[in-house]
Amino acid sequence: MVFKLNNHLLSGIASSNGHGEDSPYFEGWKAYDSNPHHLTENPDGVIQMGLAENQLCFDLIQDWLKNNPKASICTPEGVNEFREVAIFQDYHGLPEFRNAVAKFMEKVRGNKVTFDPDRIVMNGGATGAHETIAFCLADPGEAFLVPTPYYPGFDRDLRWRTGVKLIPVDSESSNNFKVTREALENAYEMAKLDNIKVKGLLITNPSNPLGTMLDRETLRSIVSFINEKNIHVVCDEIYAATVFSQPDFISIAEILQEDIECNLDLVHIVYSLSKDMGFPGLRVGIIYSYNDAVVSCARKMSSFGLVSSQTQHMIASMLSDDEFVGKFIRESKRRLAARHRIFTYGLAQVSIKCLKTSNAGLFLWMNLSGLLKENTFESEMALWRVIIHEVKLNVSPGCSFHCTEPGWFRVCFANMDDQTMQVALSRIRTFVNKDVDTKKPKKTLRWQGSLKLTSPRIYDDFINSPRSPIPRSPLVRART
């Protein structure tokens, strides 16, 4: 017997595409998953350059694990701790875990700030942390401002299950996509005209996808802005330890120690070990809030996405090793800088430029506007499909990051070995030198027109727009 799926039997979430899986960002992953590159077994496969993973220092982690077998409860040396750790279920987290994470966050920020372990709330990765903070700060229909270009996963993390809206704050390449007070004010006022209540501002520092940092002046302007509007600021600082050259990283926590007026109850930090340590699979996400009520609520909500006690136990031991942590941070910065230098040099050989102010992250913001047949997002998508299906590189188009200018792409460089990187660069050189034809395909495209929208471009409207390059399933529709 065959049963047909009746969407009316499902919830609104189950029958919607609010997850954003149809975005070009995730579509590129599917292309890689169906034909993954391997140096010997599948040399003609798709190279994954759309995944921001830090795989450059796994040898240091492996050496530490070999030298510290007691850190794991699944080794003969650590098995005596198995019972106590395995039965632990307190959603506050192991005290030694919270202490070690707080200390690590301080070290990453140059020991210029201090963090209270009692304000550390654990979550299942930064994804869980962002959703939890959204639940704590906003009700369905209320909104967060988000400077563009921004990480596509935010459209899922902050809004899919919460019903919260995201309002892009436009930035431009003419000033290296800097966040300006004028743009913030414009987005805020436009939201008010549309009767949308703005509850907060989400910033990513260092930026994904730009690989840039917010300078002190900009951070102070942001703190003043949220204080004047009496709205929250959520600071995603998950790339804090990936800053590989001057200037040094400046945390929002450092700004709060300066002579600046701010209601601390409005400030919250999201952190994780996925990028700085290269542990996305361990799902270690952190909320650090200066608001007692948020800490209390977020801790209760963390019951739905705890970090396993086994992981907490190992991480506490590793991050408490000051000598190892210091060595890891230094060496990670050195290797990221070297990889960044080699990759940008390789691109420059074929006249491909990247955002010059980038000095952090695991990726480059690559300008391919010179390869566009027209200065449109249709042309960007056409070029992207050639890169995915013919050049076989999974890079992410700027439109999936809500960039307002066509031709920008994010390319990740730290998730592969040196040989694979050279293969990727070789493919890029061949592609550019052959001047691959990226004219509009003969088949009728499912997307039409330009993506140049006026503020506020709320995500719910964006994804349902007939001008959006994101294909909509005939079975489901995004809900507002």
For the domain that residue 249 is a member of, what is the CATH number?
A: 3.40.640.10
Residues 363 and 339 in one domain: yes
d(CA 227, CA 198): 13
- Residue 11 in any domain: the answer is no
Domain count, the chain: 2
157 noted as active-site residue: no
Chain-centroid distance of CA 378 in Å reads: 25
Residue in 151, 188, 239, 459 annotated catalytic: 151
Residue 84's domain spans which residues? 68-321
Residues 41 and 118 in one domain: no
196 noted as active-site residue: no
Residue in 188, 275, 288, 458 annotated catalytic: 275
- pLDDT (0 to 100) of residue 208: 97
Q: Outline where 288-417 has alpha helix (H).
A: 292-301, 309-319, 322-348, 377-386
The tokens 């001008």 sit on which residue? 467
Q: Which residue type does 396 have?
A: S
Stated as kind and residue range, the H or E segment containing 120 is strand 120-124
Q: What is the pLDDT of residues 254-289, one digit of tens each?
A: 999 999 999 999 999 999 999 999 998 889 999 999
Residue 465 pLDDT grade (very low, low, confident, very high; cuts 50, 70, 90): very low
- Residue 452 in any domain: the answer is no
Q: Is the pLDDT of residue 76 over 70?
A: yes
Q: Spell out the long-range contacts of 423-426 with Cβ–Cβ below 8 A and sequence spacing 24 or more.
A: 423/37, 423/39, 423/43, 423/47, 424/47, 424/49, 424/393, 425/343, 425/346, 425/347
Residue in 22, 157, 236, 460 annotated catalytic: 236
> The pTM is what?
0.88
Residues 52 and 131 in one domain: no
Q: Spell out the long-range contacts of 472-478 with Cβ–Cβ below 8 A and sequence spacing 24 or more.
A: 472/17, 472/22, 473/17, 473/22, 475/5, 475/7, 476/7, 476/15, 476/16, 476/17, 477/16, 477/17, 478/16, 478/17, 478/18
32 noted as active-site residue: no
151 noted as active-site residue: yes
- Residue 300 in any domain: the answer is yes
Residues 345 and 239 in one domain: no
Q: What is the pLDDT of residues 338-355, one digit of tens each?
A: 999 999 999 999 999 999
Residues 315 and 337 in one domain: no
d(CA 104, CA 172): 34
Residues 189 and 252 in one domain: yes
Domain harbouring 48, CATH code: 3.90.1150.10
Task: Report the alpha-carbon angle 396-401-406, nearest 5.
Answer: 75
The tokens 């542990």 sit on which residue? 279
Residues 176 and 196 in one domain: yes
Residue in 120, 238, 252, 463 annotated catalytic: 238
- Residue 294 in any domain: the answer is yes
- Residue 191 in any domain: the answer is yes
The tokens 């492996």 sit on which residue? 62
Residues 160 and 31 in one domain: no
Residues 202 and 333 in one domain: no
